[in-house]
């Protein structure tokens, strides 16, 4: 989309309000709202904001930053049309005060850096995410509870209730914003849902993923529901994952993972990519699974991938190769959860896979049996490592992996570690309800 095309739409659709959006290091969407009179200035990348107020961004003496819009992300907000007056948004990259230097702490620019590296090697990256979420009731004060709005299960025929109507309106809203919705269904746990949209190039998919989460939360509120992408909001039931399907394409548009002459119809590049992901999985977990709560999901017994292994059919493995071949050949990495920053998560997984390609790594033998049913001795014999058990272990693995700092860059790497170490320390020193229930009356 061009600048002139945007201005034409602004006039035709009577867009009087404009949101300039970006994400912080944690992946939280931020925005600056401006009136119509400032749209030209915004489209020229001349609007500044205080970066020192954004978690993990600039220091106080470096606070002035510019938002440079990506015209292709412009879209009208379907729920914001009131009395014929519309609103729109556009996603931006963050630049330094001189207006020309990219800010090294911008997650979106960080992903673009990794994609440029892949392009130098002759590849583009396509990604499709499957972000699960819960819909919970609000209490009488309008605050979220963990009470689900339904008692349905996996692929249940949905009743005509607020949750189903909410999911339908989410889909309609996304379609109006340009998403191609492929399917939606109720997930395994009560109150848990999934909406799948078509894959795209990695940058567009990251944009779509943060937009998807924003739309889900916004529409849920219309139905007096709270949508959460928290990985494990309720003990004893399945948590929410974000299975991330990814593939490398050659610059001529062919799928670099496909080889019709191979037994599994996978190319050498595909096997090397699988090897790179397997090698670095423990090292990127702190990014793909960024919360203390993430590791309450990554436990045996709830379908979450705990073990670093790959297979063409085994859903207990971290890496699964879906049956589709040809242009649809891809690797599904099953550990990420929807709390992650998709820009950073995609960059880490891409560079992990490319590590395998560059160094011509060979993947471990595929594991085609239920790993959850294997004994500890069997897993050790098969050389199947486990993912980190908690955020502290994941951070230690991140720091031990040279690929992490190389991928994230000094600024994001250092700020991210500080933020996550503080989160772990807060959790480590907190006195929880579990402790009070277990110890208060017995000790």
d(CA 189, CA 93): 37
Annotated catalytic residue: which of 93, 190, 207, 332?
A: 332
**Catalytic residue check, 334:** yes
d(CA 209, CA 203): 10
Task: State the pairing for strand pair 192-197/123-138.
Answer: antiparallel
Annotated catalytic residue: which of 282, 334, 337, 397?
A: 334
* Dihedral sign from CA coordinates of 416, 110, 406, 275: positive
**Catalytic residue check, 411:** no
Q: DSSP letter at 382?
A: T
Annotated catalytic residue: which of 24, 93, 150, 187?
A: 187
d(CA 322, CA 258): 12
| 336 φ/ψ angles, rounded to the nearest 5 degrees | -55, 150
**Catalytic residue check, 130:** yes
Can you say how many angstroms the Cα of residue 231 is from the centroid of all Cα atoms in its chain? 12
Token pair in block for residue 6: 């945007």
The residues pairing with 92 across neighbouring beta strands, listed in sequence order, are 69
d(CA 47, CA 276): 41
* Dihedral sign from CA coordinates of 236, 187, 202, 266: positive
Q: Can you tell me whether residue 172 is helix, strand or coil?
A: helix
**Catalytic residue check, 414:** no
Annotated catalytic residue: which of 4, 5, 44, 50?
A: 50
Annotated catalytic residue: which of 24, 93, 132, 207?
A: 132
Q: DSSP letter at 212?
A: H
Query: Cα separations (Å) of 201 from 205, 211, 343, 435?
Result: 6, 15, 12, 46
**Following DSSP, what letter does each residue of 137-153 receive, concatenated?**
EE-TTS-EEEEES----
**Catalytic residue check, 182:** no
**Catalytic residue check, 160:** no
Which element (helix H / strand E) includes 425? helix 402-429
Can you say how many angstroms the Cα of residue 420 is from the centroid of all Cα atoms in its chain? 17
Annotated catalytic residue: which of 19, 24, 89, 130?
A: 130
Dihedral angle computed from the Cα positions of residues 361, 362, 364 and 369, in that order, rounded to the nearest 10 degrees: 120
Task: State the pairing for strand pair 86-95/15-23.
Answer: parallel
d(CA 440, CA 443): 6
**Catalytic residue check, 132:** yes
Annotated catalytic residue: which of 194, 207, 337, 397?
A: 194
Annotated catalytic residue: which of 89, 186, 243, 320?
A: 243
Annotated catalytic residue: which of 36, 80, 221, 315?
A: 315
**Catalytic residue check, 194:** yes
Q: Can you tell me whether residue 96 is helix, strand or coil?
A: coil
**Catalytic residue check, 332:** yes
Q: How many CB atoms lie within 10 A of CB 324?
A: 11
Residues sharing a CB contact under 8 Å with residue 408, sequence separation 6 or more, in sequence order: 110, 287, 344, 347, 348, 416
- Active-site positions read 50, 130, 132, 187, 194, 243, 315, 332, 334
């Amino acid at each position: 989309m061009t600048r002139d095309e945007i201005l034409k739409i602004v006039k035709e659709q009577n867009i009087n309000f404009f949101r300039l959006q970006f994400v912080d290091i944690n992946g939280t969407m931020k925005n600056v709202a401006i009136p119509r009179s400032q749209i030209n200035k915004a489209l020229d990348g001349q609007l500044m904001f205080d970066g020192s107020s954004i978690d993990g961004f600039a220091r106080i003496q470096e606070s002035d930053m510019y938002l440079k819009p990506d015209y292709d992300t412009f879209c009208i907000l379907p729920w914001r049309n009131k009395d014929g007056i519309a609103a729109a948004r556009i996603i931006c990259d963050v630049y330094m005060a001189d207006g020309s230097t990219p800010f090294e702490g911008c997650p979106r620019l960080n992903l673009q850096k990794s994609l440029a590296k892949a392009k130098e090697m002759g590849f583009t990256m396509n990604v499709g995410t499957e972000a699960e979420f819960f819909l919970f009731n609000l209490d009488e004060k309008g605050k979220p509870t963990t009470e689900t709005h339904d008692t349905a299960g996996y692929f249940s025929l949905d009743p005509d209730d607020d949750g189903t109507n909410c999911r339908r309106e989410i889909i309609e809203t996304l379609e109006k914003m340009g998403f191609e919705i492929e399917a939606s269904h109720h997930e395994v746990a009560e109150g848990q849902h999934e909406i799948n949209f078509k894959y795209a190039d990695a940058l567009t998919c990251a944009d779509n993923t943060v937009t998807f989460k924003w739309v889900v939360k916004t529409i849920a509120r219309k139905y007096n529901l709270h949508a959460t992408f928290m990985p494990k909001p309720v003990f004893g039931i399945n948590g929410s994952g974000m299975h991330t399907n990814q593939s490398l394409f050659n610059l001529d548009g062919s799928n670099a993972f496909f080889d019709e002459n191979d037994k599994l119809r996978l190319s050498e590049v595909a096997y090397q990519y699988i090897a790179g992901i397997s090698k670095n999985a423990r090292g990127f977990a702190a990014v793909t699974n960024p919360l203390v709560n993430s590791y309450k999901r990554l436990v045996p017994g709830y379908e979450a991938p705990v073990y670093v292994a790959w297979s063409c059919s085994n859903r207990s493995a971290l890496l699964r190769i879906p049956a589709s071949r040809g242009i649809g050949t891809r690797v599904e990495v099953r550990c990420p959860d929807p709390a992650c920053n998709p820009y950073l998560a995609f960059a880490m997984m891409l560079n992990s896979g490319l590590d395998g390609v560059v160094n011509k790594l060979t993947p471990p033998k595929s594991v085609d049996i239920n790993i959850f049913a294997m004994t500890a001795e069997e897993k050790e014999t098969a050389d199947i490592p486990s993912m980190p058990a908690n955020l502290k272990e994941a951070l230690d693995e991140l720091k031990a992996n040279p690929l992490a700092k190389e991928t994230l860059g000094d600024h994001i790497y250092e700020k991210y570690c500080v933020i996550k170490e503080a989160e772990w320390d807060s959790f480590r020193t907190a006195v929880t309800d579990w402790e009070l229930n277990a110890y208060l009356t017995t000790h």
